[in-house]
Structure 1
Amino acid sequence: MPTDVLFIHSAGPQSAGQGSSPLVKHLRQGLGPGFRVHGPTMPLPHDPSYERWRAELVQRIPADHPPRILVGHSLGGSVLLKYLTECERAVWPAALFLVATPWWGVQDWDTREFELRDGFARSLPDTLSVRLYQSRDDEVVSFEHLARYAAAMPQAVTCPLERGGHTFPDGLPELVRDIRASVEVRR
């Protein structure tokens, strides 16, 4: 039976090579038939709202039977993390992969609705494998954001990358490798 992967995309347009769509394409190709990568279009990605995206996540990540693997890119990563640390869960996914995830409140963006509460990492169970990916040449989310997450989430494995920009148009082989490894460990 294929492993379900839920991919939550970045803000902005998501079609025809825009936003997270190249990353999703490469992820599907790299993981192959043993995985089902679901990449739903979130509500109004050009004008994102935490409440609208949260309502979608309630449907996509049932508290009693979540997808095994969660992947979030940029805003999608921060929304996934906020949602998971603020909701009650009966069952947790096996792994959470966050790619180019902004730490809200450090740039001049109106972000209060997306900011994490103090001590958010304590809400994550020890059984949840968390990996953070950030490229040094990201033109949208500075490399400093990875250091902030690493400090706040000592249980997470950080994966600094030299290249890939913000959207990883040529894919992210490290992510494919790590998703495969996380499934093998759990079998």
Structure 2
Amino acid sequence: MTIDLLFVHSAGLQIGGQGSAPFVEQLRRDLGAAYKISFPIMPAPSKPSYLRWKYELKNLLHGESSPKILIGHSLGGSVLLKYLSELPDKISASGLFIVAAPFWGSENWTLDEFLLRDDFAKSLPKSLKIFLYHSKDDDMVPFSHLDYYRKAIPQAEVRELDTGEHSFKKGLPELTRDIQKLSASLGN
């Protein structure tokens, strides 16, 4: 039986060696055939809009074939958190893995449409096991953004990484292990 994952990418082009594409390809190799990673290109990734991405997530996350594991990289991570914290419906996902996400409203990162409400973590589905990852050598999103998320989501498991930069083109072994552990605990 394969385990379905949804990977919500970063902003910008997602082809070839750009954006989250190399990260996803490495993750596919690391996880192997037991995992099916969906990597849909979100609407207008070079000019992202929360409303457009929100409607796309609604289509991807609801229904009988919705994924059990959600991964958000960079903007994709912050969009997943916003969407899930505003969601009135239940989803069937068990794990949420957020990698190198910007914390909008901090340190001159102020795109209002992506801002989270102050108490957003209280509205996240209680069934979700949440993991946060950020590299100290991230050259796009300051490592300090991890601290904002750590304070806002105290139930999350936090992985501070020494290397990986922002793109994780060579993979993220900690993410692979955490996905495998979570899958095993769910009986998958």
- TM-score if structure 2 supplies the norm length? 0.96
Q: Which runs of 5+ in 1 are unaligned?
A: none
What does 1:140-159 align with in structure 2 at a 5 Å threshold?
140-159=140-159
Tell whether 2:121 aligns with 1:132.
no
Matched AA of 2:83: Y
In 2, Cα distance between equivalents of 1:65 and 1:21: 23
Report the CA distance between 1:107 and its aligned residue: 3.5
In 1, Cα distance between equivalents of 2:64 and 2:146: 30
What does 1:35-184 align with in structure 2 at a 5 Å threshold?
35-62=35-62, 66-184=66-184
Matched AA of 2:15: S
CA contact (8 A) 1:11 1:48 kept: yes
CA contact (8 A) 1:64 1:91 kept: no
Report the CA distance between 1:53 and its aligned residue: 0.4
Matched AA of 1:47: K
Q: Decide whether aligned partners of structure 1 residues 93 and 65 sit closer, same or farther in structure 2, where only a CA change above 3 A counts.
A: same
Give deviations 1:73-103, integer Å, cap 9, x for gaps. 0000000110001011233410000000100
CA contact (8 A) 1:63 1:88 kept: no
Give deviations 1:99-134, integer Å, cap 9, x for gaps. 001000123344100010110000123321000000
In 1, Cα distance between equivalents of 2:19 and 2:107: 20
Q: Which runs of 4+ in 1 moved over 4 A?
A: none
Q: Aligned with 2:167: secondary structure?
A: coil
Give deviations 1:134-179, integer Å, cap 9, x for gaps. 0000011111100110001000000000000000111111111110
Q: Aligned with 1:7: secondary structure?
A: strand
Report the CA distance between 1:66 and its aligned residue: 3.0
Q: Aligned with 1:171: secondary structure?
A: coil
Q: Aligned with 2:32: secondary structure?
A: helix
Give deviations 1:10-57, integer Å, cap 9, x for gaps. 001111110101110011111111110000001111000000000100
Which residue of 1 is the match for residue 28 of structure 2?
28
CA contact (8 A) 2:94 2:127 kept: yes
Q: Which runs of 5+ in 2 are unaligned?
A: none
CA contact (8 A) 1:64 1:90 kept: no
Matched AA of 1:139: D
In 2, Cα distance between equivalents of 1:121 and 1:65: 26
Matched AA of 2:132: L
Percentage of pairs with the same residue? 49
Matched AA of 2:161: L
